[in-house]
Amino acid sequence: MRTSFLAILVGLTILLSGIPIVALEAPVVLDPAVTLNPVSNDKAKSDLRFLGQPARSGIIDLTAANGFFDRCFEALEPGPGIAGDTRFIGPTFGYLKRMSDKVPGTARWHLWVAEAGEIRASLFMTVPEDDVGHEWVIHVGNHTQILKANRSDGESAQKQTLSFKVETPGRVTFTIDCIKAPPPAESRVRFIRLEGTAVTRASLLRTRWRPAAVHARFYAPSECPAPNMWVFETQAVSKTSSYSPMTTGFGYYGTVFNAEGGIASSAGFNFSMWVAGRTATVAPPLPQMPRLIGTGIPEARYGTFGGEGTGVKFFDAVAYPDGAERTIQALRIEPTEDGLITWYGYFYDEKKGQWKLYASAQAPPKDPRTASRPDFGTMSSTGSFCEIPGPPNRERSGDLVREIKRRGWFYGKDSQWYRAVLGDVLNDEPIAPEEPDDDGSITNKRVDYLADYATEGWMSMSTGGVEYHLEATSIRKPADPKEPPPLPEYLKPEKAKQLFALPVEFGKSEARDVAADRATIVCNLKKTGPNSKAILYYGTVDCLTYPPKQVTKGSAVEIDMARPERTWQFATAEQKVDTGENRFRLAGLKPSTTYYFRLFVSHDEGKSWDYRSGCFQSK
């Protein structure tokens, strides 16, 4: 019987606790993965490749580290990584255990079987008395067997050995099926030993524990003059969860696709503006701060976030109360006279058939020198990525392909729409084969034009799965449409006008009747909504769109952002407002002092700060 250093440590720990030593057999460690070419004859060329670990002495052990699973399971008992496995997963894990009895799913291991024959499966499990008799559903390919668990401390395999016949060589998946019944609460699946004639020349197929992020960049074609807006429609092709936002000059703008490939009910967008990085402890000076301005969602809250970094975004901003099958979003950009960039993010409400402002915001450019360039205030490209967040003990879905398809348009200064095109190369490094391959490097990421690009405009980005392809085959050339295809309904002229609509349109604000201790601020509103109310914020520092807020938790930067000297000192009482002139009376001012002010308006269809602050000096 094989023992390992880990098993000895486990035994010593148990001995010290007063429980008899159990020498747990350790799984066989396979050699590092090599590149497999499943079609290798001259008559049938293929770019398909796998990364596989060959059986060792006729054995392949399936462990909690070299397989994949849904969130009905989690991997526990972490240990140091295995040399040669680190590109797939960092740590090892001792066993699989139930994480949730509410989430159906499977645990999966993929094999390349070179010869037909038999697979015998022996399950090494820890099964307490209460879990005895549980029926584990096991699939190998399209064959199914039931294992009735006997009590076991994990020292030896279950009494019942399962035998499966593999009729045809090729890819075969070994599955623990917990779709109809969850795993029992306390049982532990330590490893599964595969032997038999079909295993002798088989390989365990490997890929990263969760798919690595795939990146793409979309460009306005060269004939589009000074583009200042884009529109993208996004759909998840695969019925798997993923996060695939658009990347912008300020941060991310996108949403999450759920396990069914759709958008969950009550979902919104992540319209996040970065303030500072993870290691920062203080916020930038106020003039350098990004600022949220307005939204067409009246329930939305202005807020901050921490984590990878600190930033600002809207919370409780529900765009899809009933969920959706796709997103249709737009981003418009406008420069200001004082060198800021104003961003307007919209989404298309398909049920109402109209565009709605999700968020508007302002920020100084990352490089102040760009404000003097002739193309300042334009955006000729935008990016996107697709990733799957989560730690390796719980998010183990690297065998599932995530595919996102998009089509988009850029809006030029000639008021015409131009179809988006892809960049030239993938923005990532493909996995190089472990051993030389005359055909070149391989990758399981793709960025492509789809076959209907000429007529419908679709492009695709995908990542994940155990199937790899030669990176050289990802050369992309767009098809040339014979004639410009018609625009979708949401870009028809009457709809596109809504991409310039705002919940509040501000006119000029000015101070009148200024005295040493008082003043009247007159704010002109060009447009507002039903039941409009407003507050005028003011003080001796221009605090932009940051009202007083008490923050005791969060990142150091979030706490710093809420310091009294960085938020508005004073505010008027909320009052009703309407289009035209609205007066706000200020009292208790200090003489010969410069004051700044900014209006905030809310109504039944949205809310917004003024896009600039005003100022005056008391007498």
Looking at residue 16, what is its pLDDT? Answer: 40
Q: Quick: pLDDT tens for 272-302.
A: 999 999 999 999 999 999 999 999 999 999 9
User: Within the chain, which residues score under 50 in pLDDT?
Assistant: 1-22, 425-436, 475
295's torsion region: left (phi>0), alpha (psi -120 to 50) or beta? Answer: beta
Q: What is the DSSP letter of 102?
A: S
Q: What is the CATH number of the domain that holds 88?
A: 2.60.120.260
Looking at residue 538, what is its pLDDT? Answer: 98
Same domain, 54 and 105: yes
Beta strands in 152-223 (DSSP E): 152-153, 162-166, 170-177, 188-195, 203-205, 214-219
Looking at residue 472, what is its pLDDT? Answer: 58
Same domain, 178 and 32: yes
Please indicate, yes or no, if residue 255 is contained in any of the structural domains.
Answer: yes
Same domain, 327 and 396: yes
Looking at residue 46, what is its pLDDT? Answer: 80
Of 205, 236, 251, which residue constitutes the final position of a domain?
205
User: 243 vs 253, 256, 262, 619, CA distance in Å?
Assistant: 11, 5, 11, 55
Answer yes or no: are the C-beta atoms of 158 and 123 closer than 8 Å.
yes
Same domain, 194 and 229: no
Answer yes or no: are the C-beta atoms of 273 and 363 closer than 8 Å.
yes
Q: What is the DSSP letter of 455?
A: H
Looking at residue 170, what is its pLDDT? Answer: 95
Looking at residue 11, what is its pLDDT? Answer: 44
Number of domains in the chain: 3
**Structural domain for 596, as ranges:** 505-617
Looking at residue 307, what is its pLDDT? Answer: 80
Closest to 522 measured CA to CA, from 452, 444, 577, 447: 577
Looking at residue 77, what is its pLDDT? Answer: 97
Of 172, 205, 238, which residue constitutes the final position of a domain?
205
How many alpha carbons lie under 13 Å from residue 22 in its C-beta half-sphere?
A: 12
Q: What is the DSSP letter of 261?
A: S
Same domain, 418 and 512: no
Indicate yes or no: pTM above 0.85: yes
Looking at residue 480, what is its pLDDT? Answer: 65
How many alpha carbons lie under 13 Å from residue 452 in its C-beta half-sphere?
A: 7
User: Encoding tokens for residue 224?
Assistant: 């589009």
Q: What is the CATH number of the domain that holds 551?
A: 2.60.40.10
Instruction: State how far the Cα of 191 lies from the Cα of 122, in Å rounded to an integer.
Output: 9
Looking at residue 435, what is its pLDDT? Answer: 41
Same domain, 122 and 75: yes
Please indicate, yes or no, if residue 22 is contained in any of the structural domains.
Answer: no
Same domain, 229 and 190: no
Same domain, 39 and 149: yes
Instruction: State how far the Cα of 110 lies from the Cα of 248, in Å rounded to an integer.
Output: 38
In this structure, the number of other CB atoms found within 10 A of the CB of residue 134 comes to 16
Looking at residue 12, what is its pLDDT? Answer: 40
User: Encoding tokens for residue 341?
Assistant: 């960039």
Please indicate, yes or no, if residue 303 is contained in any of the structural domains.
Answer: no
Please indicate, yes or no, if residue 290 is contained in any of the structural domains.
Answer: no
Same domain, 173 and 84: yes
In this structure, the number of other CB atoms found within 10 A of the CB of residue 15 comes to 12
Closest to 318 measured CA to CA, from 271, 354, 388, 273: 271
User: Encoding tokens for residue 378?
Assistant: 């334009």
| Residue 9 backbone dihedrals phi, psi, to 5 degrees | -60, -40
Q: Quick: pLDDT tens for 455-484.
A: 899 999 999 999 998 875 554 556 666 677
Same domain, 194 and 226: no
Please indicate, yes or no, if residue 291 is contained in any of the structural domains.
Answer: no
Please indicate, yes or no, if residue 469 is contained in any of the structural domains.
Answer: no
Instruction: State how far the Cα of 386 lies from the Cα of 211, in Å rounded to an integer.
Output: 9
Same domain, 365 and 402: yes
Same domain, 82 and 144: yes
Please indicate, yes or no, if residue 466 is contained in any of the structural domains.
Answer: no
Looking at residue 23, what is its pLDDT? Answer: 53
Please indicate, yes or no, if residue 566 is contained in any of the structural domains.
Answer: yes
Looking at residue 370, what is its pLDDT? Answer: 82
- Element (H or E) spanning 512, and its range? strand 505-512
Of 373, 401, 428, which residue constitutes the final position of a domain?
428
- Chain position carrying tokens 């796998």: 50
Question: Which SS3 state, helix, strand or coil, does residue 619 take?
Answer: coil
